[in-house]
Chain A
Amino acid sequence: MESRFSNFVNRRFHRRSLVVMLLYVLALAVMSLAIDHLHLRGVGLVLLALLPALPIVAGIVVIAQYLSEQKDEFVRALLIESMLWGVGATLIVTTVWGALEKFAHIRAMSLFLVYPLCCVFVILARVVVKRRYR
Chain B
Amino acid sequence: MKNRLKVLRAERNWSQADLAERLEVSRQSVNAIETGKFDPSLPLAFKLARLFESTIEEIFSDEN
User: With the chains together, A2 CA to B20 CA distance in Å?
Assistant: 7
Closest to A6 in B: B26
Residue of A nearest to B25 (CB): A72
A77 partner residues in chain B, CB cutoff 8 A: 38
Task: Specify which of A5, A71, A74 is in contact with B28 (CB 8 Å cutoff).
Answer: A74
**Residue pair A133, B27 in contact (C-beta under 8 Å):** no
Residue from the list A1, A71, A133 in contact with B20, Cβ < 8 A: A1
- Please give the distance in Å from B64's CB to the nearest CB on chain A: 20
Report how far A71 CA is from B23 CA in the complex, Å. 11
Mostly helix, strand, loop or mixed at chain B's interface?
helix
Interface residue tally for chain A (C-beta within 8 Å):
14
Give complex CA distance A73, B20 in Å.
13
Q: Is A110 an interface residue (CB 8 A)?
A: no
Mask of A65-77 contacts with B, CB within 8 angstroms, 1/0: 0000001111101
**Top 10 closest pairs, chain A to chain B, by CB:** A74-B29, A2-B26, A1-B17, A72-B25, A3-B24, A1-B27, A133-B32, A72-B26, A74-B38, A73-B41
Q: A residues within 8 Å of B by Cβ?
A: 1-3, 5-6, 71-75, 77, 130, 133-134
Interface residues of B (CB under 8 A from A): 17, 20-21, 24-29, 31-33, 37-38, 40-41, 44
